[in-house]
Structure 1
Amino acid sequence: MRSIELFAGAGGLGIGLHEAGFHPVSVIEWDRYCCDTIRENSERGIGAVAGWDLTEGDVRSVDFRPFEDSLDLVSGGPPCQPFSVGGRHRSYNDARDMFPEAIRAVRQTRPKVFVFENVKGLTRTTFRNYFEYIRLQLEHPDIHSHVDETWADHLSRLERHHTSGVRKDLHYRVVTRVLNAADYGVPQRRERVLFVGFRDDLDIEWAFPQGTHSVDALLWDQTRGDYWDRHRVSAKDRVLGPRMRERANRLVEKPQGLAWRTVRDSIHDLPDAEHDPDAAARVPNHRFQPGARSYPGHTGSPLDETAKTLKAGVHGVPGGENMLLRPDGAVRYFTVRESARLQTFPDEFRFHGSWSETMRQLGNAVPVQLARTVGESVARHLESAA
């Protein structure tokens, strides 16, 4: 199935959707380091990105009309800084808000379906009206704003059109949901809001796939199952925080489904980059980064829990969320390869740039596994409607 990937970043969303059966005929990204990462892996013949037609540049200069009525999917992650908890919360007053360009791509190409993602912060009460504005524009992409029309006036016009019952224009059935990647087998508590819209004429009914993993299943495995024995962890290193242990004690029967994956589950077979640098040097992007320290409110991810959300700082990463907390209380930074594991990138995929730059790419990425899960569900419904 043919697709276009906008705001590709280092490729997390695009790789997952590719593995689900969508093959991009055009990939657009403006950041040169992300483009270098994609190009390097494409040139190395890495299957997920091999042959990607990459455009390094501003999406605002791209004319999408040549792809009209020829695409199954338009996807991407419009820059999220305007809505990030760590950002300045300017939303529609922020020049980095690229949702208007995502909507223009939908309007000009008329794909069968689109998948867009963004940070959970977009759903905050502060941005609620703008969130609704985005959703209505995606439902009715032909009802675009007039010259000098404010977004609030455009929203009112969209609301009137939406409630009129008229559906002669291009129309999509849009659903949105905040998904926690940990619920889908990603070893990281990472929440993203997704917009999925099917073109109305396809008459497709769709819902987000249900989660397959849970924290309760993990706690059961750690207190009544073979988690520790499976990982050959000695009794003194079997550390479970008081809040987690209290929750585990409340479980009366084994939960359904699979366990949330922990940091240890994800990286246990990698050599220790701090204590065995020679072995670590044989693994791409697996180099120890010194300087990690912990202080109140700035702690790492415990080895035997699902990782905290990886972050992308403006001037490198701030530290806490991107650190590993060992059972003895020591902390160190995750290596790039370990972070890629937490984002479920394939091991053969390499990242271009310094540690801080590659961590920025990873901190902005969509977990590949989450993208693949959603993409597979979307693809099945498209195929059934063909």
Structure 2
Amino acid sequence: MTSSGAAAPFLAKPRILDLFAGPGGLDVAAKMLGVPSLGIEWDKDACETRYAAGLRTWHADVSEVRRERFQKLPADLNVLAGGPPCQTYSVAGSGAGREALDKVKELIHRLVDGAGEENVDERLAEMGGDPRTALVLEPLRYAIKALACPNRNGRPFDVIVLEQVPAVKALWDVYKKALEKGLPREDGTRVRYEVAEVKTLHTEAYGVPQTRRRTILIARLAEHGVPPLPAPTHHVFNLRRPEEGGPDDAQPTLPVDGAAPLRPWVAMEEVLTSRRGPFEIVSNYGSGGDPKNRGIRTHKQPSFTVTGKVSRNAVRRHPNGPDLDPDRLTIPEAGILQTFPPDYPWGGGDQSQQVGNAVPPLFGMHVLAAALSLPLPPEERLRESWPRLDRTDTRYTDLRLEGCEASGGCGPDCPKPEDQASSSAASGSSRPRTGASAKRSAK
């Protein structure tokens, strides 16, 4: 099985820098593709999961690394990826969200026009407001910083991949124009990118057993050509016609434009194999403006979007029966619905938030494969056993030493304990947060 853009790979050795890396969804995808990655993650709970999963990690503030330690990043990193926190744009179009969006648009133009870091920081200070607003600028600031970094000899990132909730599409459109215009070098020349259409994709169209939408930006250096978007492999779930495109749909699926026929979307019963017999999940959220009108998905359908509140969704083992002793999804089950391996080593606290805030690895595989023109491995590999590293394991010790610069806990450059003590703290905290703790309300 190959990705939609699987021509000859144009990077001999792709190496990914994953900003706001969370518990590892994109890094698991990269590993399945055989691509090394390094993640930067603020939240200590997510870092605990990453260390146990054997993923290279810097436990750090993305902004602090850019300011103080960018030159220490491995010089061979040539793919920039990430999903910056975007809560402050969740109501874009009016009120605070519209205002935040306009502020960031202005700053994107300033950066592309050559404004220095101090100038941008001063403007951010003048704007005030939610400090998380600035975090969405970090991928662009990293891309520009690379052009002036002596350790990289001015080498730009060859590929940029960004993802977030649909509300951020207007911002990705501005990013697209900025990258196509070109990023400024100190000598006045520009580094131009070709950018695919910014589009909101349905994850169930890529085999993920849940309905979830993500807006994607894929850019390549102009010399590499226009990148493709990942081609869907499965049908999209239609809530109004829930049987359409499913395993029991009797209508044949015909090829389109030479592509392979779309497969049925994946139902929960296909992946939650430990749950025998019929069941249904009752959402924690109301619908249609009525908090009491809880949505219901059956075992023969994809799940709702897995969020940080996934543990609050009730699982009824007897559909249409009395609502007695409802069950709950376990963390491994929620992870499976996100397409993590069944025994992925979730660690630290607030694991529901970690699971809900992650990029589904299967979806990440499709996006990265398209961006890098790589063949997709069999989906079954994500259902294979994932090794857990014990704290006494030498590899675990080495990962923590790299990530925290300490073998037994956090080091001096890690985010302060009082600032990142728990990823379940209020999302309105005055401290800018990244990764799992910062992206909570965006889901």
Q: One fold, TM greater than 0.5?
A: yes
Whether contact under 8 Å (2:202, 2:236) holds in the other structure is: no
SS at match of 1:299: strand
Match of 1:104 among 126, 141, 146: 141
2:330 alignment counterpart: 335
Q: Quick one: structure 1 residues 324 and 214, their matched pair in 2 at CA, closer, same or farther if it must change by over 3 Å?
A: farther
Q: Distance in 2 between matches of 1:15 and 1:340?
A: 12
CA shift, 1:266, in A, is 1.3
Pairs within 5 Å for 1:139-150: 139-140=180-181, 142-143=183-184
Pick from 166, 189, 192 the counterpart of residue 120 of structure 1: 166
Q: Does 1:259 align with 2:264?
A: yes
Verify: 1:60 aligned to 2:56, yes or no: no
Q: Please report the RMSD computed on the Cα atoms of aligned residues, expressed in angstroms.
A: 3.5
Give the TM-score of the pair, scaled to structure 2.
0.59
Amino acid at match of 1:183: A
Specify every segment of 5 or more residues in structure 1 that has no aligned partner in the other structure, as ranges.
43-48, 145-166, 220-240, 275-290
SS of 1:33's equivalent? helix
- Contact kept in structure 1, 2:29 and 2:365, CA below 8 Å: yes
TM-superposed CA distance for 1:247, in Å, is: 9.0
1:298 matched residue in structure 2: 294
Q: Cα offset for 1:56?
A: 1.1
Distance 1:242 1:101 in 2: 39
Q: Is the 2:310–2:352 Cα contact (8 Å) retained in structure 1? A: yes
SS of equivalent residue, structure 2 residue 53: helix
Contact 1:292–1:332 (8 Å) recurs in 2: no
Query: How do 1:108-187 and structure 2 match up within 5 A?
Result: 108-109=145-146, 110-123=156-169, 128=170, 130-140=171-181, 142-143=183-184, 168-175=189-196, 176-187=198-209
Highest relative contact order (Cα 8 Å, sep 6+), 1 or 2?
A: 2
Pair 1:269 & 2:282 matched: no
Q: Is the 8 A contact 1:178 1:194 kept in 2?
A: yes
Change (3 A) 1:140 1:253: same
* 2:367 corresponds to 1:362: no
Distance 2:72 2:244 in 1: 58
User: Is 1:77 matched with 2:83?
Assistant: yes
Shift of 1:191: 0.5
Percent identical pairs in the alignment equals 25
| Preserved contact between residue 235 and residue 245 of structure 2 (Cα < 8 Å) | no
Alignment of structure 1 residues 184-263 onto 2, 5 Å: 184-202=206-224, 204-215=225-236, 243-244=241-242, 253-255=251-253, 256-263=261-268
Question: Which residue is equivalent to 2:412?
Answer: none
Q: Contact 1:187–1:342 (CA<8 Å) still a contact in 2? A: yes
Structure 2 unmatched runs, 5+: 1-13, 105-128, 147-155, 254-260, 376-443
Distance 2:174 2:374 in 1: 27
Partner residue, 1:20: 33
Who is 1:348 aligned against? Answer: 343
Partner of 2:131: 95
The whole-number CA distance in structure 2 between the counterparts of 1:343 and 1:337 is: 10
Is residue 7 of structure 1 aligned with residue 16 of structure 2? no
SS in 1 for 2:373: helix
Query: What is the TM-score normalised by the length of structure 1?
Result: 0.67
- The one-character-per-residue Cα deviations of 1:213-239 (angstroms, maximum 9, x if unpaired) are 1157xx9xxxxxxxxxxxxxxxxxxxx
Report the AA paired with residue 70 of structure 1: D
